[in-house]
Structure 1
Amino acid sequence: MPTLTARAAKTALAAALTAAAIAVPQTARAADNPYERGPAPTQQSIEALRGPFATSQTSVSSLGVTGFGGGTIYYPTSTAEGTFGAVAVAPGYTADQTSMAWLGPRLASQGFVIFTIDTLTRLDQPDSRARQLEAALDYLTQRSTVRTRIDTTRLGVMGHSMGGGGTLEAAEDRPQLQAAIPLTPWDLQKNFSDVRVPTMVIGAQADTVAPVATHSQPFYESIPAASEKAYLELAGASHFAPNTSNTTIAKYSISWLKRYIDNDTRYDQFLCPAPSRDLTISEYRDTCPNS
């Protein structure tokens, strides 16, 4: 009996040590990244119309802001898990914030504060839209009613068409940004070798307004590989694909923003290895994040 008791004690001790060894890396991992928000992702969760966070929205009048034209803020209603990263989203030429409205609740429900903005005029060029995206981020983090929900060190920009060009120029101007996603971007400037912000360029295979051969692809190629970058081309899609709900745009935007704004390596699985070409993706290139 003493021998059995000693063996049982050793077994119990070994089990306790094993459990502790398993628990320590998990604790350390959580401590290493205090920005993780929400449950572990799955293919289904990043393709869903809504993520795990309940959201609300608030309108911002153009009369109460300077440097841009107002807009709508979408945000998670609970801060139980902490503050969130924030992203300003610009529309394209002649368009307003409603053209990008579908992105607001979809991205906010994944754990971000999203600000879809109106521009000063519908004819503003990319350099102006870049400054307006920056002004919107400044308003969002300094004066907005949701500013206490935002971690000001974790910001990003997105935009469509000329708003996409503005996204690239804002990333060039503010290297402290954590992520940029230009959507079927248009810009007369072709060289973005000064961009240091992790950038995912999303082009459209059938784009005749900003053909990928003269816009999205050169933009992507000019960004240094050391900055972390990706190029996703939507199969058979037109220039206006970002203006309506699009699962491919959503799932990879979520993954990119989570990976770089939240430093959440749980999303690496959707970016590296690179997604295969399929019915929705005609081409995908990247630097394989942090490989």
Structure 2
Amino acid sequence: MTHRTTSPWTRRLLAATIGLVMAASTVPAHAAHVGAPVPADAPVNAAGAADHSTLRSTLTEIRRERPELDVDVRTTGMVAVPATTALPNKPVAAVSSTRAALRANGPSAIKTHYVPSKQTPNGMGEALLAYPADKVPVPRPTVLMIAGWGSEFKTLQWLGQRLATHGYVAVMIHPPFKLDWPPRRATALKVAAEWMSTSSPIAPRIDPQRVALYGYSMGGGAVLRASTMIPGLKAVVSAYPWDTKVNFPENRVPTVIMASQDDPTAPPRKFADFMFASMGKAKRAYVEVPVGGHHAPSSTNPHVSETTLIWLGRHLLGDKRYSSLLCPGPGKAEGYSTYAATCPM
């Protein structure tokens, strides 16, 4: 895995904003460690607060020194950062430090493309592709997505299209049979990972060096399995996972697991908790909401949206500006009941 060096202007921006983030945030001042999820209403520490005048001055300097970044001061009441970052020769997704922006569509117009199973390789089924409508295709960070047992594309489509509006390519796939269990879904992901960057209709738009996995339900179990099958992965998002396997000590890819307390199909105490605790050598986070049931990720969901975009921003893009949204993480004010993470990130 490559590590991005933080530039001087980024360090100045972080120094000016980190205190303001902590002061305005209502999330816990500390993050839990492995195997110890903590209540989301832990005390707030606002000791590092920075004032808006310092922040504005820093942004003005950055705008003068790096005009191509189009830095703007957004007075959201929480924090002001560049709304979009386009680093030279490195097209990346839009970045925002406000959770509201991560719960909504991004600024990019998108296109979609359906690929029937007869046009995909053996080992995977049909595919639905969503991507920014660039006039000239450029390689972009890509999220390979798979849903659960018997699911249709509509359970992924809302999130895949949202990711595309934020600058990612979303490759949504089915396994050969929609009733396949996690092992065959994991194999389908491996097949699709090679296909999408070599012979898919949007291969020029795929950056094979920046690939993440997203899975829901049995797909959530499949991405944990596929984490060790696909080389070079940068991030894994497992939403409400179900699998007969719950131990993944071999996993090393940064992984976030989402769950709901009232999930009757994949109760977190039987699945997500064990999966999270078992990955002792991976950077990871655990996010739990109090209500929603098992099917919450299958339609537009603010918690799934922001959690996915934050994790991808930090680990797929390698952008440390997302770190302040992970350490400390979200709390009850944002609609979460439990949060745990291996900090710092």
TM range (shorter): 0.7 to 0.9
1:183 alignment counterpart: 239
Give how far 1:31 is off: 6.8
- Asked whether 1:271 is paired with 2:326, we answer yes
1-structure distance, mates of 2:149, 2:120: 21
Give how far 1:138 is off: 1.5
Whichever residue aligns with residue 138 of structure 1, its letter is E
2-structure distance, mates of 1:120, 1:163: 13
- Asked whether 1:205 is paired with 2:261, we answer yes
- Say whether the 8 Å CA contact 1:88–1:116 is kept in structure 2: yes
**CA displacement 1:174-199 (0-9 Å, x = unmatched):** 35211111111011111111111110
- Say whether the 8 Å CA contact 2:193–2:230 is kept in structure 1: no
Q: Of the candidates 65, 69, 72, which is equivalent to residue 23 of structure 1?
A: 65
In structure 1, runs of 5+ residues without a counterpart are 1-17
- Asked whether 1:257 is paired with 2:312, we answer yes
Whichever residue aligns with residue 55 of structure 1, its letter is I
- Asked whether 1:132 is paired with 2:132, we answer no
Select the structure that is richer in helix: 1
2:294 alignment counterpart: 239
2:125 alignment counterpart: 69
Q: How does 1:92-111 map to 2 (within 5 A)?
A: 92-111=148-167
Whichever residue aligns with residue 260 of structure 1, its letter is H
SS in 2 for 1:72: strand
2-structure distance, mates of 1:239, 1:200: 17
- TM normalised by structure 1 equals 0.85
1:222 alignment counterpart: 278
Rg (Cα) greater in structure: 1
2:98 alignment counterpart: 42
- Say whether the 8 Å CA contact 1:161–1:183 is kept in structure 2: yes
**CA displacement 1:75-103 (0-9 Å, x = unmatched):** 01127795211111111112122221111
- Asked whether 1:194 is paired with 2:246, we answer no
- Say whether the 8 Å CA contact 1:69–1:119 is kept in structure 2: yes
What's the C-alpha RMSD, in Å, of the aligned pairs? 2.6
1:13 alignment counterpart: none
Indicate how the Cα distance of structure 1 residues 219 and 259 shifts in structure 2: closer, same or farther if over 3 A, else same: same
**CA displacement 1:106-131 (0-9 Å, x = unmatched):** 11111111011122112211111011
SS in 2 for 1:102: helix
1-structure distance, mates of 2:317, 2:216: 23
Indicate how the Cα distance of structure 1 residues 279 and 236 shifts in structure 2: closer, same or farther if over 3 A, else same: farther
2-structure distance, mates of 1:138, 1:82: 18
Give how far 1:45 is off: 1.8
Q: Of the candidates 122, 125, 131, which is equivalent to residue 178 of structure 2?
A: 122
SS in 2 for 1:237: coil
Give how far 1:201 is off: 0.4
Whichever residue aligns with residue 273 of structure 1, its letter is P
2-structure distance, mates of 1:19, 1:57: 40
- Say whether the 8 Å CA contact 1:164–1:181 is kept in structure 2: yes
1-structure distance, mates of 2:137, 2:100: 22
In structure 2, runs of 5+ residues without a counterpart are 1-59, 70-84
Structure scoring higher RCO (CA < 8 A, sep ≥ 6) equals 2
- Say whether the 8 Å CA contact 1:179–1:256 is kept in structure 2: yes
Whichever residue aligns with residue 146 of structure 1, its letter is I
2:338 alignment counterpart: 283
